[in-house]
Structures are given as structure tokens and as C-alpha cells.
């Protein structure tokens, strides 16, 4: 799907630009985009380096395991195929808590670290596992308690009550996240248990019902 969206953007842009006579603008925009891709990645370096350093201390001190145990039941429900004491759980928890408290720049490194841990459980390194898809779904809809940036902008433009959007944002984000979890569950069930499912789970000789296309290794 990413391939098609990407292709659509590029082809549609050039076609529309040709009609509008905006070819120069589009060429320029392409290189501007490339530049900002690099700038954003470089901006991530300092944040990644800092938080991954901090999180290593937390991991070695056993803090991540503590966090994982505290909120374990919820995570086990959302990530049934990740082993109980796997380090991924701790990172998933820190990622979700960072999102929740609006610590945007801490959430990304922890999310990536969680993905790296999940990747260790993945037999096919180029295909996402259901657990990765769930983590991504939770992050794209990102439950946030306090939208700090928006409140700051509203204050800046003289709002009488800058924080009045906390309630509506919380309600909207709750609905979006619920939708993400439900859709994720639905696809998880619908999609064939591919090579991603651990071999130990599928009983030998018995073909799981509904398994099409991909073969179970």
C-alpha cells in the first residue's frame, strides 16, 4: 500500500503540475522535500542518542521490567504474542507512557527501541509482525492527555480559554485510538497466520482455518 501511495503522489504531482504549468515549482519542491527529510533525521540524532542512553540505564537498573510488570495485563492483551518477560514489553510501556504524557521527543526513541526488540522475535526481517502493527497503530493515533503545543499556540493568539480543547482532544483521541485497536484486531484475525507466527504455536499437521496464500513454516 505504501508503494502505491508513494507512486500516486509523485505521478499525480507531475501530471497536475504539467497541466498548471508549475513544473519548476514541483522540481524545486522535490529537492526541498529531500532536504527536509535529512534535516528531520539529523534532528532525531541528538534525541535518539540521549534517550537511548537514558533508557539503557533504566534497563540495567531493572526499571523497565518494573514498569512492564505494573501495566502488564493491558500490554499482554494488546500484544498476546510477545513473551511475558521479553524486554520489548518494557520499551512498549515506556513508549506508551511517553505518548500519554505528551513527551513527544522521548516517545519516538522508545518506540523505535521497542520495534528493534520486536524485530528480534521476527523470523522474517522484512515483514512486519502483528505486534509491530499494533504498536504502530497505538502510535499513529497517539493518546495524548495534554496537547501542550496547541495550548501554547492558542495562548499566543489571545484565546480566552486556551485549555478548553483538552476535553475535546481527549475525547477525539480516545475514539481514534479505540478505532485503531479495533481495526488492528480485525486485521490480525483476518490476516493469515503467516511465517510471523512462532512455529511453536501452530500445531504440526493441522492447517489453521482461514490460512490462505502464505504457507506456515
Partner 1 sequence: MYNFFTGLSAWMIPAIIVFIPLYAALRRKVPVYETFVEGAKDGFGTAINIIPHLVGMMVAISMFRASGALELMLSAVRPLFDWMGIPSEVLPLGILRPLTGAGSLAFTTDLIQTYGPDSMIGRIASTIQGSTDTTLYVLTVYFGAIGIRRSRYALKVGLFSDIVGFFAAIFICLYIFG
Determine, following the binding rule CB under 8 A, whether residue 80 of this chain makes contact with partner 1.
no
Quick one: residue 158, left, alpha or beta (phi over 0 = left, psi -120 to 50 = alpha)? left
Q: Which of residues 177-216 bind partner 1 (CB under 8 A)?
A: 177, 179-180, 183-184, 187, 191
Q: Which of residues 48-77 bind partner 1 (CB under 8 A)?
A: 48-63
Which grid cell is 216? Answer: 506456515
Among 65, 71, 121, 146, binds partner 1 (CB under 8 A): 146
Cβ neighbour number for residue 133 with a 10 Å cutoff: 16
Determine, following the binding rule CB under 8 A, whether residue 81 of this chain makes contact with partner 1.
no
Task: Please give the backbone phi and psi of residue 34, each rounded to the nearest 5 degrees, phi first.
Answer: -60, -40
Q: Which of residues 114-133 bind partner 1 (CB under 8 A)?
A: 115-116, 119, 125-128, 132-133
Determine, following the binding rule CB under 8 A, whether residue 92 of this chain makes contact with partner 1.
no
Contact between residue 109 and residue 52 where contact means Cβ atoms under 8 Å apart: yes
| Piece in contact with partner 1 (CB under 8 A), picked from 18-26, 71-79, 85-93, 205-213 | 18-26
Determine, following the binding rule CB under 8 A, whether residue 91 of this chain makes contact with partner 1.
no
Residue 187 CA to its chain's centroid (Å)? 16
- Per DSSP, the three-state class of 84 is coil
Determine, following the binding rule CB under 8 A, whether residue 100 of this chain makes contact with partner 1.
no
**Count of residues in contact with partner 1, rule CB under 8 A:** 106
| Piece in contact with partner 1 (CB under 8 A), picked from 35-43, 71-79, 80-88, 202-210 | 35-43
Q: Shortest gap between Cβ of 78 and partner 1 (angstroms)?
A: 13
Cα–Cα dist 192/175, whole Å: 27
Determine, following the binding rule CB under 8 A, whether residue 101 of this chain makes contact with partner 1.
yes
CA distances from residue 161 to 46, 62, 150 in whole angstroms, order as listed: 35, 42, 12
Amino acid at each position: 500500500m505504501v508503494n502505491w501511495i508513494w507512486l500516486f503522489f509523485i505521478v499525480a504531482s507531475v501530471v497536475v503540475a504539467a497541466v498548471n504549468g508549475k513544473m519548476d515549482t514541483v522540481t524545486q519542491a522535490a529537492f526541498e522535500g529531500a532536504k527536509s527529510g535529512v534535516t528531520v533525521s539529523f534532528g532525531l540524532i541528538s534525541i535518539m542518542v540521549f534517550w537511548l542512553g537514558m533508557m539503557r540505564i533504566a534497563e540495567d537498573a531493572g526499571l523497565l521490567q518494573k514498569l512492564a510488570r505494573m501495566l502488564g495485563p493491558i500490554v499482554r492483551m494488546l500484544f498476546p504474542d510477545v513473551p511475558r518477560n521479553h524486554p520489548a514489553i518494557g520499551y512498549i510501556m515506556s513508549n506508551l507512557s511517553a505518548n500519554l504524557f505528551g513527551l513527544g521527543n522521548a516517545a519516538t526513541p522508545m518506540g523505535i527501541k521497542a520495534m528493534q526488540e520486536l524485530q528480534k522475535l521476527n523470523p522474517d526481517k522484512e515483514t512486519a509482525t502483528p505486534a509491530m502493527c499494533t504498536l504502530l497503530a497505538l502510535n499513529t493515533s497517539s493518546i495524548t492527555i495534554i496537547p501542550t503545543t496547541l495550548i501554547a499556540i492558542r495562548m499566543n493568539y489571545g484565546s480566552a480559554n486556551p485549555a478548553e480543547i483538552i476535553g475535546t482532544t481527549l475525547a477525539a483521541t480516545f475514539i481514534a485510538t479505540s478505532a485503531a485497536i479495533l481495526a488492528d484486531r480485525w486485521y490480525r484475525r483476518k490476516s493469515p497466520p503467516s511465517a510471523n507466527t512462532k512455529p511453536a504455536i501452530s500445531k504440526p499437521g493441522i492447517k489453521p482455518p482461514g490460512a490462505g496464500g502464505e504457507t506456515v513454516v
